[in-house]
Structure 1
Amino acid sequence: MITSTFRKSGRLGALVALGLSGALVLAGCATPDAGPAAGAPVTSVVGTSGSAAAGAAGSSVAAAATCENPVASYAPDGPLPGPGALPAGSTMAAIRDRGSLVVGVSADTLQLGARNPLSGQIEGFDIDVLHQVSNAIFGDPDRLQFRVITSGQRLEVLENGEVDVVARAFTINCERWETIAFSSEYYHAGQKVLVTRDSEAQGIADLAGQRVCAPDGTTTLERLQEYPDITAVPATTHTGCLALFQQGKVDAITGDDTILAGFAAQDPYAKVVGQAISDEPYGLGIPAQNVDMVKFVNGVLEQMRTDGTWTALYDEWLGVLGPAPAPPVAVYGRTP
């Protein structure tokens, strides 16, 4: 089941019309909500009571990371069980009994995870992937409790057991596997740059002597160290980079193509240039001890790849990047 509360044509048209003011609305989204509407998902930017799943008796503890292939994850344990047949004592059963899936997300990354300025709902490709996980656990795609986090908080909230899953343009790498676990790859992005419409730059190599922004706590910012002639400017969030760019305080933004495409949709004076300078395999982050949850989520992703859901979500949210590619092929072989 594909869930989207505000369809693409209305969403994109509204944001383009809002222009700069729309970017500022999104920049102010990471504040506590006054309270959700009846039947709406709960949203929070403060600590939750902790993941009820963290101590589930059925959870396996991951061994110390040995990372020959960072995108290798844990294979699903057979066919995906229905909500009424979740293994007793499992992480998934604990989440079902609690009544909601606690998820760490962005509220300001257009097309991946952003708060719609008209409806107030957080929506995007990452969010709809989480709706699929919710549907698999509860038989209801909307049992999501959102925790709005920055890129730099992704590891922290998983290591502390504050959330069950993080879906926030989260690149899988060996260093992160040391403290958390990842699902199989569900999207393959690449790092590019956003510049002003009149810029002659054709890629990141043409930005020597210029100021380039990237969010703290990201592989994107780390990669700027490979270009010593560029002045790297960190910001708390991707939208923070956009605000600096629109204020003329930085000359460019670097990030995954998915994120920059959203910025270009908001700002008619910006464009995305260059070939991708990196491979950014996105995975869903999950606490390391919840190996059973990783396997379950991988079963959900397998179903999305084969039943057309993945392609439908790509067309809905990321079609601006071009025709839908084939979904990333899952790689397994990791053992607890």
Structure 2
Amino acid sequence: MKKLIPIAVATALLLTACGSGNYAATQLPAEPQAAPTTSTTPAPARPCTDGLGPLASYAPDNTTPAPGGVMPAGSWMEEIQKRGRLIAGVSADSLNLGYRDPITGKIQGFDIDMINAVAAAIFPDAPTNPRRVELRVISSPQRIPSLKATTNPVDIVARNMTINCDRWHDIAFSAEYYRSGQKTLVPRDSTVTSVKQLSGKTICAPAGSTSLDNLKKANPEVMPITADTDTGCLVLFQQGKAYGISGDDTVLAGDAAQDPYARIITTERFSEEPYGLGISLLHPEFVRFVNVVLQQMKDRGAWKDSYDKWLKAALGPAPVPPKPIYGRVPVKR
């Protein structure tokens, strides 16, 4: 099977070359380009130490302000208001989740709708004032460091990030806002029906993602390589440096839409990937506030509207939105 053009290469150039349109968007400094590397064995995951599962977040309480209302003095929401904008770490190359439209230059998608809802809850004029949101483009490995940075951190990360106990040691999560799952993308003419049949094959997964660990568990005999972005994996696939890609079904749906020579093994889903919005452990009141915003989106139909717009065509009718799980208590720091 011969591929005529590297579609992802062209797309990547558009993603990084365009302006941000109606959004104030920034790009973190480019990381040094290097050849794809074979991943080393990951460190053991750290367990939840409070007796709760990973999905338990901080419950809203009587101190949590209503979206659109006055933000409490000393809260992180008030700090965001004083600054004049919400700073969010996002993807710009995950089609339908967070991507830069090559025509308008606007970063948009399902994850971006979550950010816009949070911004509108703090700034009522956010829907008509693009300066209320700064979308900072980050790679998968930058998600947690961008929240923990001591200089110019982001307020929130919406980048198809799986909630797990290991990450709760470093950052806090909102309640679950979407349940994805891991699948595998292979050449269209491949007869493979399971990741178990990919022994000895080079498979790409984003660096710093749970997809990499899940892939190794599903088949320890694959040859994993990594890229910093989802588009990076698609480029390696199109260049023939990777036989396939393994990752969240939401991301792979975007990859397949960009490459007619690719298909997803739809009959096999070998992980559950609950998405949460990442927030600093230093701001539990902001987590509670965001949880109110997410619940309002689900109750008012805005969540379903966003799903139908961005994901329905690739993944089918909208599922029931994930129900929040609460009970976690912030640790004083």
Report the TM-score range of the alignment, normalised by the length of the smaller protein. 0.7 to 0.9
- AA aligned opposite 1:193: T
Residue in structure 2 matched with residue 119 of structure 1 by the alignment = 104
Q: 1:305 aligns with which of 293, 298, 305?
A: 298
Which residues in structure 2 correspond to 1:1-150 (within 5 Å)?
23-28=8-13, 31=16, 40-46=22-28, 66=50, 68-78=52-62, 80-139=65-124, 140-141=126-127, 142=130, 143-150=132-139
Task: Measure the CA separation in 2 of the matches of 1:82 and 1:331.
Answer: 20
Cα deviation for residue 27 of structure 1 reads 2.0
**CA pair 292-65 structure 1, distance change in 2 beyond 3 A:** farther
**1:325 maps to 2:319:** yes
Superposed CA offset, 1:252-284 (max 9, x none): 100000000001111111111132100100000
* Maintained 8 Å contact 1:26/1:107: no
**Percent identical across equivalent pairs?**
49
**Residue among 184, 188, 197 paired with 2:179:** 188
Q: How many Å apart are 1:95 and its aligned residue?
A: 0.3
Q: Does 1:285 align with 2:278?
A: yes
Instruction: Report the counterpart of residue 205 of structure 1 in structure 2.
Output: 196
Q: C-alpha root-mean-square deviation of aligned residues, in Å?
A: 1.9
Give the counterpart letter for 1:157 in structure 2. S
How far, CA to CA, are the matches of 1:117 and 1:235 in structure 2?
22
Q: CA deviation at 1:28?
A: 3.1
Residue matched to 2:143: 154
Tell me by how many angstroms 1:203 deviates: 2.0
8 Å contact from structure 1 (residues 32, 46) kept in 2:
no
Which residue does 2:245 correspond to in 1?
Answer: 253
Q: CA deviation at 1:87?
A: 1.1
Moved more, 152-161 or 106-115: 152-161
CA distance in 1, matches of 2:6, 2:216: 32
Q: Does the C-alpha gap of structure 1 residues 29 and 283 become closer, same or farther in structure 2, counting only changes over 3 Å? A: farther
Decide which moves more: 225-234 or 123-132.
225-234
Find the partner of 1:176 among 167, 191, 194.
167
- Count of paired positions: 299
Distance 1:118 1:29 in 2: 9
Matched residue SS, 1:83: coil
SS of 2:191 mapped into structure 1: coil
Deviations 1:11-64 (A, max 9, x none): xxxxxxxx956522432367587x655xx32111237xxxxxxxxxxxxxxxx9
**Structure 1 pair 131/20, CA: closer, same or farther in 2 (3 Å)?**
farther
Cα distance per residue 1:231-257 (max 9 Å; x no partner): 011111111110011111111100000
Evaluate the alpha carbon distance shift between residue 25 and residue 66 of structure 1 in structure 2; reply closer, same or farther with a 3 A threshold: farther
Partners of 1:80 and 1:313 lie apart in 2 by 24
TM-score, L = length of structure 2: 0.85
Q: Once the 2 structures are TM-superposed, how far is the Cα of residue 314 of structure 1 from its aligned partner?
A: 0.5
Counterpart CA distance in 1 for 2:23 and 2:121 is: 17
Task: Measure how far apart 1:80 and its partner are.
Answer: 5.0
Query: How far off its partner does 1:204 sit?
Result: 1.1
Alpha carbons of 1:82 and 1:214: their partners in 2 closer, same or farther (altered >3 Å)? closer
CA distance in 2, matches of 1:321, 1:198: 21
Instruction: For 1:231 and 1:211, locate their aligned partners in 2 and report how far apart those are by CA, in whole Å.
Output: 5
Cα separation, partners in 2 of 1:67 and 1:46, compared to 1, 3 Å: farther
Assess, with a 3 A threshold, how the Cα gap between structure 1 residues 270 and 32 changes in structure 2: closer, same or farther. Answer: closer
- Contact 1:106/1:149 (CA < 8 Å) preserved in 2? yes
Q: Is the 8 A contact 2:161 2:277 kept in 1?
A: yes
- In the superposition, relative to structure 1, how do residues 67 and 216 fare at CA in structure 2: closer, same or farther (>3 Å)? farther
Q: CA deviation at 1:85?
A: 1.5
Structure 1: runs of 5 or more not aligned? 1-18, 48-63
Alpha-carbon distance in 2 for matches of 1:67, 1:144: 36
- Write the mapping of 1:238-277 to structure 2, written as runs, cut at 5 A: 238-273=230-265, 274-277=267-270
Runs (5+) with no aligned partner, structure 2: 30-47
Contact 2:172 2:280 in 1 (8 A): yes
Q: 1:223 aligns with which of 209, 214, 223?
A: 214
